[in-house]
Structure 1
């Protein structure tokens, strides 16, 4: 199973429909070095050796931890490997997440990602919205398109966007991908004290209409308010884990979904990758609807 990013551009990127998100590799609260550095490096190598060629990262994971791990484990990179990073946020010493989204901030983040990933151009960058911080959305996205025209970015995507923001972005230029919260138990926008985590269901039909891959994040978070046991029912029938069925459900839900389940354990990585082999029946999907 593959999916093509920016299919109508001069530089489309075709990747496997099961990627890997690196957010769980750093220490507690996505901060500091991994508890087991050797295992973290092996997870990255095993993922790529197993056919994963889409990695999701950010320079504010760690800080800079996941980017440095990717470069250490995989550079020089395989020709078909797509590394997607995010800008628009940074971390404070208290481990809080804050906007870093002025045009100068975004440029500094891109330069830092280029340095830590050891790249001359980043193939895909998501503008992550975590509260506008006084900077209009159009100004942020305009700065991203400026960096794209300079050749520092190949493709521009959006992360944690509302339907209205995606519609506005599409009027400004080509949006290659969208990364929103999405999983079987958390499909709509989740309002938290620090702001909204926009759900995939809010934008999935637009992504399908425009041929834009939707990349679900937090798809396996168990602490979110999942109100039913449907995943557990299907997991028992398939002798699979609930995480595997959640991934399989995403893969069956729409051909425009590109799941990126993350883990800090090699055994769980291998388990997650096997989810691509699970075939859900029409009855399964009806039960999970």
Structure 2
């Protein structure tokens, strides 16, 4: 697997393999509660890391706290090169809705909770997830994040679910290590889901490339698969791979600054996703896909 460096100009850069693993799907239905098969969930985490994946994406509001606890149970004490990235800025209500949790006190509570459940003294990378236009301005949220970075609770700060204007504003306030937006072959621009608008990766990719910021696509398999009969399906058929695998390969070839994190609750699908890193796409293939 090729690699990518997070916060390359900082005193403590992090180099990881370019295919990570997003843990969200390890939870129960509606991203809530314990997994249906806990032993398989633990095995997925162990297999991913044993296969060379050293970037895991999680959040304390997955479950709630389910994925963090699974990561700690499966992998602690952690390998030296393992990077665990979490998110703050949101929480879940008992009705399973997603709501902002982004005052400075909220963010501090979330960071302390992540440190406790992940059994870490410092979180290597934390994404501030933006949840629409609420009463807490971006500069106040980011200010709290950078304050905790100065305290040593956070090593690097990233942004998630951001528009181009929000990323530009964030870069004016301090070093942004990574960006995590929805992005896939079929879903490149803003899409509205039940919990709000999700800006697409294409809207910020050139800005990330300009500043050397890895862009981490999320939901690339859940919302990203076009219907059979389009060019992705046809090229997948020609190469003898699945559409999901070709979607991951397209992301890896789209830009060297992309770090896909396909998630799954199936060990078989994890192995399929990992094989996507072996798929070679020519310039002609990429031109055909568009």
The verdict on a shared fold, with TM-score over 0.5 as the criterion, is yes
Aligned to 2:220: 219
User: How far is 1:247 from its partner?
Assistant: 0.2
CA offset at residue 192 of structure 1?
3.7
| Unpaired runs of at least 5, structure 1 | none
Q: Are the counterparts in 2 of residues 84 and 122 from structure 1 also a CA contact under 8 Å?
A: yes
Rounded to whole Å, the distance in 2 between the matches of 1:248 and 1:200 is 16
3-state SS of 2:216 partner = strand
Q: Aligned residue for 2:6? A: 5
Q: Structure 2 regions of 5+ residues with no counterpart?
A: none
Distance 2:241 2:283 in 1: 18
Q: 1:105-116 to 2 correspondence within 5 Å? A: 105-116=106-117
- 1:164 aligns with 165
Q: Could you tell me how far 1:130 is from its partner in structure 2?
A: 1.4
**C-alpha spacing 1:82/1:173, structure 2 compared with 1 (3 Å):** same
TM-score between both structures, scaled by the size of structure 1: 0.98
Distance verdict in 2 for CA 1:48–1:226, change over 3 Å: same
* Runs of 4+ with deviation above 3 angstroms: 222-228
Report deviation, 1:228.
6.9
Aligned residues: 289
How far has the Cα of 1:67 moved from its partner? 0.1
Bigger drift between 144-153 and 129-138 goes to 129-138
C-alpha separation in 2, matches of 1:188 and 1:159: 14
Q: 1:100 to 1:244 in 2, by over 3 A?
A: same
Q: Aligned equivalents of 1:93 and 1:131: distance in 2?
A: 21
Aligned position for 2:30: 29
Structure 1 distance, partners of 2:64, 2:70, is 11
Partner of 1:55: 56
**Preserved contact between residue 87 and residue 109 of structure 1 (Cα < 8 Å):** yes
Secondary structure of 1:24's counterpart equals helix
Q: TM-score, normalised by structure 2?
A: 0.97
